[in-house]
C-alpha cells in the first residue's frame, strides 16, 4: 500500500511532463480542455504539496528535526497575492487562447498574448527562484536525493510544462493565425488602418509587448486596492531566503529534538508560553522558556540524587518525547501541551525548593553555553 501511495503521489507529474515533451516533438495537438484539466490538477497538486511543507517565513528560524521542510518559503506569503494574480492572468490567457475554436477579435487576441507574456515571465521567475536547489538529473537515479530536493523537483513541473506549452502556442498563433483571417474593408479610413495593422499576425507578438505595460499598470492598480505594494511581485521573490533571488538572511536553524518541551517553547503562543531567551542544547540554539528550564533543572537534580531512576526515566522520555513532539506542529497544540504540563511544572518546582539550596540559580543556569 505504501508503494502504491508513493507512485500515485510522485508519478503523475513526471509522466505528464514526458508526454508533453513527446507530443511537442511529434507535433501532436491536444485539445485545450485536456490541458485545462491537466494544468488545473497540477496546480492543485502543487498547492497541496507546498502547503503540506509548512515552510517558514524568512524571518523565522528553521526547526531542525521538527520542520518537514528545511528551507524557507519559496514565495513570500506577505506578497503571495501579487504572484498569484499574475500567475492567474497568464494561465487564464493561455486557456482562452487555446480553448476557443472561433477566431478572437484581433485587438483582444493581442491583449491575451500580453497576458500570456505575464504568465511566461512569472513562470520563468519561479523556475529561476527554485533553480538553486533543483537536483541534477543524475541524482534522481541514485539513492542520495533528499526529500527537499525531490519536492522542489516536483514543484518545478507545472511552470516547466506551462512554458513549453505557452511558447508552442505563441509560435503557432504567430505563424498560422494570419492565414485564417479574411481581408475586410471599412469605410472609415482609421478603421481600415487598424484592420490592416492587426491583420498581419506576424507582428502580434510585438504589439503584445506594447500592450504589456498598460496591462501591468492595470494589474498593479488592482493590487493596490487590496493593500499590496506596487513592487509586490518582485518582493514575492526577493523577500525570501535560501533561494536564487532571495535578499534576506534568516536566523540560524534551531534544534528541538527529543525534548518536546522545546517544541512547546518554540511553537506556542508567545503571550502564553513566554519564551525567555535562546539557549544551547547539544551545540545547537533553541528557544527557552520558564517551563523548559524548570523541567530540565528537576531532571538535573534527579540525575545527581537518583542516577539509576533517572536513567530509566530518561529512556522513557527519549522513547516517547520525540514522537510526541512531531504532533505539536501548530501553536494551538503547543499551547494545550503547555497548559497540561503546568501541574507537573509546579511539582518539579516544589521538588527543587525542597531538595536544592539555590533552586532559582539552578533554573537560571539551564541551557547556558558551557553548562
What is the per-residue pLDDT for 141?
Answer: 43
What would the mean pLDDT of 219-237 be, rounded to a whole number?
Answer: 87
What is the per-residue pLDDT for 328?
Answer: 59
Helix (H) or strand (E) holding 355: helix 331-355
**39 in any annotated domain:** yes
- Domain limit, last residue, from 186, 212, 238: 238
Residue 353: which pLDDT band, with cuts at 50, 70 and 90?
very high
Pairing of strands 284-289, 275-281: antiparallel
- Domain limit, last residue, from 212, 238, 264: 238
**361 in any annotated domain:** yes
Q: Are residues 228 and 299 in the same domain?
A: no
What is the per-residue pLDDT for 5?
Answer: 46
Helix (H) or strand (E) holding 281: strand 275-281
What is the per-residue pLDDT for 2?
Answer: 41
**Which residue range is the domain that position 299 belongs to?**
254-365
Per-residue pLDDT at 89 exceeds 90: yes
When the pLDDT of each residue in the chain is averaged and rounded to a whole number, the result is: 77
Q: Are residues 47 and 188 in the same domain?
A: yes
What is the per-residue pLDDT for 261?
Answer: 66
Q: Are residues 228 and 296 in the same domain?
A: no
Q: Are residues 89 and 198 in the same domain?
A: yes
On whether the pTM is more than 0.85, the answer is no
What is the per-residue pLDDT for 4?
Answer: 54
Q: Are residues 169 and 294 in the same domain?
A: no
What is the per-residue pLDDT for 201?
Answer: 53
CA atoms within 13 A of residue 25's CA, in its CB half-sphere: 6
Provide the sign of the torsion angle of the four alpha carbons 88, 90, 94, 100, taken in this order. positive
What is the per-residue pLDDT for 66?
Answer: 59
Q: Are residues 15 and 111 in the same domain?
A: yes
User: Distance between CA 48 and CA 152 in Å, rounded?
Assistant: 13
Q: Are residues 203 and 300 in the same domain?
A: no
Q: Which residue has the higher pLDDT, 232 or 258?
A: 232
**249 in any annotated domain:** no
Q: Are residues 43 and 168 in the same domain?
A: yes
**371 in any annotated domain:** no
- Number of domain units in the chain: 2
Q: Are residues 113 and 80 in the same domain?
A: yes
Q: Are 56 and 251 in contact (CB under 8 A)?
A: no
Q: Are residues 225 and 357 in the same domain?
A: no
175-206 per-position pLDDT tens digit? 765 554 455 555 555 555 555 555 555 565 66
Q: Are residues 116 and 151 in the same domain?
A: yes
**227 in any annotated domain:** yes
Percent of the chain with pLDDT over 70: 71
Amino acid at each position: 500500500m505504501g508503494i502504491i501511495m508513493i507512485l500515485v503521489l510522485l508519478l503523475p507529474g513526471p509522466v505528464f511532463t514526458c508526454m508533453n515533451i513527446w507530443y511537442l516533438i511529434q507535433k501532436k495537438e491536444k485539445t485545450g480542455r485536456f490541458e485545462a484539466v491537466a494544468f488545473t490538477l497540477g496546480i492543485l497538486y502543487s498547492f497541496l504539496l507546498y502547503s503540506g511543507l509548512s515552510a517558514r517565513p524568512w524571518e523565522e528560524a528553521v526547526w531542525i528535526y521538527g520542520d518537514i521542510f528545511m528551507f524557507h518559503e519559496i514565495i513570500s506569503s506577505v506578497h503571495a497575492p501579487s504572484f498569484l494574480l499574475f500567475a492567474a492572468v497568464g494561465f487564464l490567457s493561455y486557456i482562452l487562447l487555446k480553448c476557443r475554436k472561433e477566431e478572437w477579435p484581433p485587438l483582444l487576441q493581442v491583449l491575451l498574448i500580453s497576458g500570456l507574456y505575464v504568465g511566461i515571465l512569472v513562470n520563468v521567475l519561479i523556475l529561476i527562484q527554485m533553480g538553486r536547489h533543483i537536483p541534477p538529473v543524475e541524482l534522481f537515479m541514485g539513492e542520495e536525493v533528499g526529500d527537499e530536493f525531490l519536492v522542489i523537483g516536483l514543484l518545478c513541473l507545472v511552470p516547466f510544462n506551462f512554458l513549453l506549452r505557452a511558447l508552442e502556442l505563441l509560435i503557432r498563433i504567430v505563424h498560422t493565425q494570419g492565414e485564417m483571417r479574411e481581408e475586410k474593408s471599412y469605410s472609415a479610413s482609421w478603421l481600415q488602418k487598424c484592420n490592416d495593422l492587426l491583420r498581419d499576425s506576424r507582428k502580434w507578438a510585438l504589439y503584445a509587448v506594447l500592450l504589456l505595460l498598460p496591462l501591468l499598470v492595470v494589474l498593479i492598480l488592482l493590487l493596490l486596492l487590496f493593500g499590496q505594494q506596487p513592487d509586490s511581485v518582485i518582493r514575492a521573490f526577493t523577500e525570501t531566503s535560501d533561494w536564487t533571488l532571495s535578499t534576506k538572511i534568516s536566523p540560524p536553524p534551531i534544534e528541538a529534538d527529543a525534548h518536546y518541551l522545546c517544541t512547546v517553547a518554540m511553537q506556542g503562543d508567545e503571550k502564553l508560553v513566554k519564551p525567555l531567551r535562546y539557549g544551547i542544547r547539544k551545540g545547537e540554539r533553541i528557544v527557552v522558556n520558564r517551563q523548559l528550564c524548570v523541567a530540565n533543572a528537576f531532571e538535573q537534580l534527579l540525575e545527581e540524587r537518583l542516577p539509576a531512576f533517572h536513567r530509566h526515566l530518561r529512556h522513557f522520555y527519549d522513547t516517547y518525547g520525540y514522537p510526541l513532539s512531531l504532533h505539536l506542529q501548530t501553536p494551538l497544540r503547543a499551547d494545550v501541551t503547555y497548559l497540561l504540563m503546568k501541574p507537573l511544572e509546579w511539582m518539579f518546582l516544589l521538588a527543587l525548593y525542597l531538595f536544592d539550596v539555590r533552586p532559582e540559580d539552578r533554573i537560571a543556569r539551564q541551557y547556558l553555553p558551557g553548562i
